Chain A
Amino acid sequence: MTKSFFLATTAMVLGAGLAHASTLEDVRERGAVVCGVTQGVPGFSNPDDAGNWTGFDVDICRAVAAAVLDDADAVRFVPLSNTERFTALQSGEVDILSRTTTRTLNRDTALGLNFAPVVFYDGQGFMVRESLGVASALDLDGASVCVSAGSTTELNLADYFSANGMSYSPVRFDRADEVLAAYDAGRCDVYTSDLSGLAARRLVMENPAEHVMLPETISKEPLAPVVRHGDDQWFDIVTWTVYALIGAEEMGVTSENMQEMAEGGSPDIRRLLGAGDDNMGAWMDLENDWSAKAIAAVGNYGELWERHLGMNTPLELERGLNELYTNGGIQYAMPIK
């Protein structure tokens, strides 16, 4: 908590002043992308046993580092709580925020942020102990609810309960670890967060099998990487790196077959992989094979999903809305040309 104090004060006094106009130049000079992540959410951003950050959100940053610096490991990860994250980005302490952050009008405008394309269409849900015998969120009148402070979650929670004429007692923590620990210790009847976060958090509970999700999804939580206002070039780079990963899946390009695809694929595919004659990279001041490097480093969007979140991972998340638009979902890359 003292850290957020420190961050904010820095932002207030120097930070924003020192933040360079060109993030790309800063990143090149530094030789690393500084990436704000969570303090540990399995599947999204979590240090492994050796201390290396892994996960879906982590790989978005690695993809950007590969596109910009040709090195997916040239990333410095900064764990941030919900309440620290925006100040850290605004003050220039991180270049990208890639940490289950919902795009909202307020954040897009008043907070001075720019959101790259949505990488995970999520929604807010509720988790309870099975033994409680609750079948619906509408039965939660009078419950104690554990929630992360400084999130869209606590706002949706207030709206949902007041809209349904129910009362509740919020137990608000700054750090997600404590939300979980308090819920696990029995302080709350309900744990609410993004459904993805609930699934991830359940994995680290004392007895995962004792907890169930309620059927209601009470909000839209489009999670996206974030950059700060004032640097369109950097915003473009992050935006199109995400589109390149989604576009690769649309075109059937994977980290494995990309070599052959670059040689024999359609003009769109050859363009995506920097094998065409057009000079797309130069429009963002990058090498022409920026997107090929990103795909080679982390795989296409589908590979990313399967590796960190899919049915063969402990999270076992269905793609749902995050399927490609051609498969019944709403993931859709803008034309990469």
Chain B
Amino acid sequence: MADTASQSPGRLPSGPPRAPFLTRGRIRSLAVQILFIAALVWVVHFLFSNTMSNLSRQGIASGFGFLGNRAGFDVSLHYIPFSSSSTYLQGFWVAVINTLVLSALGIVLATFLGFGLGLARVSRNWLIARLATVYIEIFRNIPLLLQLFFWYFAILRPLPNPRDSVDFGGIAFLNNRGLVVPEPILGASGNAVLMALVIGVMLGIVQTRRMRKLRDATGDAGPVWPWWLGGLIALPLLAWAVSGARFELIIPELRGFNFQGGMVILPEMLAALLGLSFYISAAVGEIVRAGIQGVPKGQYEAAVAMGHSRWEMMRLIVLPQAMRIIIPPLATQYLSLAKNTSLAAAIAFPEIISIVAGTTLTQTGQAVETILLAMGFYITVSLFIAAVMNFFNYRVLRNDR
């Protein structure tokens, strides 16, 4: 791999000798930058004070005090306690969590789908490659909003009402209110299991790193899977047994209009997830294809010469190198998915736009503050995703020796 590494985009050229610290060009550019920042501060200050005086002239409430007021509305999906007597602030956190959950699930699904599509696109099987192309062309070119509506009504229309639910063995039910599944109740064991799981995962990670180092150093190391098995299964099981071994399943039961008990996956969640991840996976598929095709031919030939199977060649040689090309545009797609969750408001998914820039804005009339909150949220999420992807990019480039 040594000779491809020198072409790697991550390699910095050694560059010309550094110029002396203070040169005229530097001073000039410093002055321009200071002026620019001063102008920016002035503009922001002007807009801010202008806005504030306008708001007060029209007698419109301002400030963030409203966040402590009673919200007065209900939300169908909340992972933290929320009711109409909660505050707008609590509503904001509900929206934040809902949006993050949707984004995270969407990113995971889009990644799996996208990598599958990318591999299918370069497949030597004509049919598979064609099908992948058709999928990508369809989902990439139809506006996301339309796709969301499509999924939402494609889910709602054919599904029966709760009384005629599709019955999965009497424990899970599918109807146009969603998919209801049994809810496991671990009682006091729940926390113990969770803690054991966290410890188990850490154990697995530490051990994986140790073994890798060992292999790098000695060329030989023990397997890591027993550690993962122990960390993910044995340890939590042990914790559960020791802490009282309580386990109950709450089976959903049809009462009145709908099923009571159990956990439900709402049609809004399902449609938003499918819409977002199918849309983004099409773009990811193209990125993965480009990445794979960007790996020099010589690498393939070498892999074949070494007697690797096609799958091994992809997994061990081509994909690791393709990641260098894939990660930067992949980050862009993740950002886009996170921001596109806002469109899910149209199909009643209670995310940031729906709760904060929709209902909270209208009920309090505080457009400036609620929009700032929503913008702050999206900026934070974007910066976070960018940082994580930069980290991965750095790792991939660094490992590329």
Contacts and interface: CB of A to CB of B under 8 A. Distances in A.
B286 interface: no
Contacts of A158: 72-74, 84
A185 B358 contact: no
Interface stretch (B190-198, B237-245, B316-324, B361-369): B361-369
A205 interface: no
Given A1-B358, A150-B361, A173-B346, 9 more contacts: A5-B374, A110-B60, A111-B365, A149-B354, A161-B74, A187-B156, A187-B177, A229-B59, A230-B58
Interface stretch (B119-127, B207-215, B222-230, B252-260): B252-260
Given A142-B256, A142-B260, A169-B76, A110 B365 contact: yes
Contacts of B55: 16, 112
Contacts of B362: 82-83, 85-86, 149-151
A293 interface: no
B236 interface: no
Interface of B: 47, 50-51, 54-55, 57-61, 72-76, 83-85, 152-153, 156-157, 159, 161, 176-177, 255-258, 260, 267-268, 342-343, 345-348, 350, 353-354, 357-359, 361-365, 367-368, 370-371, 374
Contacts of B153: 181, 185
B371 A185 contact: no
Given A12-B367, A171-B348, A230 B57 contact: yes
Contacts of B47: 12-13
A155 interface: yes
A328 interface: no
User: Which 5 residue pairs are nearest across A and B when measured between Cβ atoms?
Assistant: A150-B362, A111-B365, A16-B54, A158-B84, A112-B60
A97 to B, nearest CB: 12
B76 A1 contact: no
Nearest to A152: B363
Nearest to B365: A111
B258 A175 contact: no
8 contacts: A8-B357, A16-B54, A112-B60, A142-B255, A144-B257, A158-B73, A168-B74, A172-B359
A186 B156 contact: yes
Interface in A29-84: 82-83
A289 interface: no
A112 B51 contact: no
A98 interface: no
A143 B257 contact: yes
Query: Of residues B85, B256, B267, which shows the largest number of chain A Cβ atoms within 10 Å of its Cβ?
Result: B256
Contacts of A12: 47, 51, 367-368, 371
Nearest to A6: B371
B378 to A, nearest CB: 10
Contacts of B358: 1, 4, 83, 149-150, 174
Contacts of A1: 342-343, 345-346, 353, 357-358
Given A12-B371, A174-B358, A17 B50 contact: yes
Nearest to A187: B156
B346 A178 contact: yes
Given A5-B357, A111-B60, A174-B358, A86 B365 contact: yes
B77 to A, nearest CB: 9
A310 interface: no
B361 A170 contact: no
Contacts of B159: 186
Contacts of A189: 257
Contacts of B177: 144, 169, 187
B109 to A, nearest CB: 23
Contacts of A87: 361, 367
A174 B347 CA distance: 9
A229 B365 contact: no
A254 B256 CA distance: 53
A157 to B, nearest CB: 8
B128 to A, nearest CB: 35
Contacts of A143: 256-258
Contacts of A151: 362
Contacts of B152: 182
Contacts of B157: 185-186
A216 to B, nearest CB: 17
Given A8-B371, A141-B256, A170-B74, A83 B156 contact: no
A149 B359 contact: yes
A142 B264 CA distance: 14
A170 B257 CA distance: 13
B49 to A, nearest CB: 10
A228 interface: yes
B156 A8 contact: no
A90 interface: yes
Contacts of A85: 362
Contacts of B365: 86, 90, 106-107, 110-112
Contact of A4 (B267, B347, B357): B357
A326 interface: no
A173 B60 contact: no
Contacts of A22: none
B270 to A, nearest CB: 12
A312 interface: no
A170 B76 CA distance: 5
A109 interface: yes
A230 B353 CA distance: 29
Nearest to A87: B367
A9 B368 CA distance: 7
Contacts of B84: 155, 158-159, 162
B303 to A, nearest CB: 47
A83 B257 contact: no
A32 B353 CA distance: 32
Given A1-B342, A8-B361, A150-B363, A170 B58 contact: no
A17 B59 contact: no
Contact of A178 (B57, B59, B72, B347): B347
B371 A178 contact: no
A185 B175 CA distance: 12
A127 interface: no
B383 to A, nearest CB: 19
Nearest to B360: A150
B342 A11 contact: no
